[in-house]
Structures are given as C-alpha cells and as structure tokens.
Amino acid sequence: MLFVAVYTPDAFFYRLNMKILRFFFLPVLMWLRHPKRRYRFLPLLQQYFSYDRREEVLTACLGFADFNRIRGDYLEFGVWKGGSLIATYHLAKKLEYLQAMRFYAFDSFAGLPAKKGVDAEFEQFVEGEYDSSLEEVKINLKRNGVDQSEVTFVKGWYDQVLNEETRKKLPIKKAAIIYIDSDLYESAVPVFKFITPYIQDGTIIIFDDWFCFNGRSDKGEQKAFREWLANNTSFTPVDYKDFGWSGKAFIINTPM
C-alpha cells in the first residue's frame, strides 16, 4: 500500500513516500559508491552502479584474461584522474588467475602535449588538456581503496621515458591488458614501441580514442596501431569489443 500511494494524485502521500525511500535507500546507494564494495562484493549490481562506459569493456577484457589464464600485468598509458585504473584494480581482485597482476600507470601528469603532424589539423585535443597531477591521482586511488604498493607510476612525456632504460627498471614480463588513452598519434607511436616485448598470445589492447578524428585510419591511435602491426607481422589482431562512441578493444594473437 505504501508504494501504491506514490501513483495517486495526493501530494502528501507522494512526499511521504519519497522521504521514506530516501531514508532507506540513500544510505545503501552511498555505500555502493565505493569501488571496492561495488567491484569486489557486489558484482551482480555493478552494471546498475557503473561510473562510466569503460567499466563494461574492462569487465569483459579481464574476464577473458582470467578464463584463458593469460597471466600478466596491466599497463595504462594515459591515466588522467585514475578512473580506469581504479576500476581495473578492483575488478581484477575478484578474479582467480589475475591475483598476481601488477598495475603500471604511464602519464605526463601534465596534460596533453602540443599537437603536431597528422593530428594538428583537427580541433580536438588541446595542449594541457586532461591535466591531473600525480599527487591528485594518488589521492584518488587512496580514496577509492587502491593499494598503491601494487601500482607503479612512470611520469614523463612518452617520447622521453618510454625507452630501454625505463624498461630495465620495471619488472614487467608480459602484459595481460594494455589500456591506451594517448589520444594523439605522436603519443601513441612510442607506446607501441615500448609494449612490443610484453605482448603474448591473448594480450588485449584497449583503445580509448579509436574513433576520434572522424574515425579516420590515418590519424590518431588508429594510424599508430596499423603502422605497428605492419612492423610486427607476427601479431594478428582480433576484433573484440567496441565501447561508448570512441573506444575499441582487440585481442592480439601471436604464433603458437
């Protein structure tokens, strides 16, 4: 009878029911906002409390890696405020074969570089956009229950830090999931050179901005990916998932 009254024209009962609903359900909703609870303890409710479109594709990709026992690390290029990293951390923690996964976050932590070359003619993506300091990201991770002893941050412009010297400092052996949110072609090129030794059969590469630049294959992340495949003919991309209006994920197969 209580909820039937919501649909009556009586404003008093409507206000009363709204107060009751808020009293009982608002604390529950607030409790569910914490990623550790949503991802780890309430997986069935995750779809109803999803923060953004990336969570669905991350859930699928991590599930794929777990089912196929593709053990390896998570590499993210383009961290911004840490949203995708937070989601991946908590989603991976509930999967049996990904318990040993470590998380690597690569970013300038100073926003985007100035556009040049093939991407410069487009208005999207301006210098300094998506600026978020490393300190801000760490605060966000701590606030959202991420154990930062399992996260390694690499700060700097990609053309300066994604090199053999950095590779020797990191204990990465293979990658299970690689998340590329570099936006620009010039930023994506050094990413691909860096990740090549970490690719294994079944590694998933997720592109956050695949369909930017009018969806053109000669711009942005698409251009860098196609050039990388042309230089690494032993890698075969398998079209896996589209997400949102801009994202796409591929499974990479290598010779058995």
pLDDT of residue 111: 87
pLDDT of residue 47: 47
Query: Domains in the chain: how many in total?
Result: 2
User: Residue 36: which pLDDT band, with cuts at 50, 70 and 90?
Assistant: low
Is the domain of 16 the same as that of 45?
no
Q: Pairing mode, if any, of strands 151-155 and 236-243?
A: unpaired
User: Residue 4: which pLDDT band, with cuts at 50, 70 and 90?
Assistant: very low
Average pLDDT over residues 55-66: 95
pLDDT digits (tens, 9 = 90+) for 201-229: 999 999 999 999 999 999 999 999 999 99
Is the domain of 218 the same as that of 114?
yes
Considering the entire predicted model, what is its pTM?
Answer: 0.80
Is the domain of 107 the same as that of 187?
yes
Q: What is the CATH number of the domain that holds 169?
A: 3.40.50.150
pLDDT of residue 1: 39
pLDDT of residue 52: 60
User: Residue 125: which pLDDT band, with cuts at 50, 70 and 90?
Assistant: confident
Q: For 228, list phi and psi in degrees, rounded to 5.
A: -65, -45
Is the domain of 12 the same as that of 56?
no
Mean pLDDT of the chain: 86
Q: How far apart (Å, rounded) are the C-alpha atoms in residues 148 and 137?
A: 11
Is the domain of 216 the same as that of 240?
yes
pLDDT digits (tens, 9 = 90+) for 78-116: 999 999 999 999 999 999 999 999 999 999 999 888 888
Is the domain of 6 the same as that of 71?
no
- The whole domain housing 110 covers 41-253
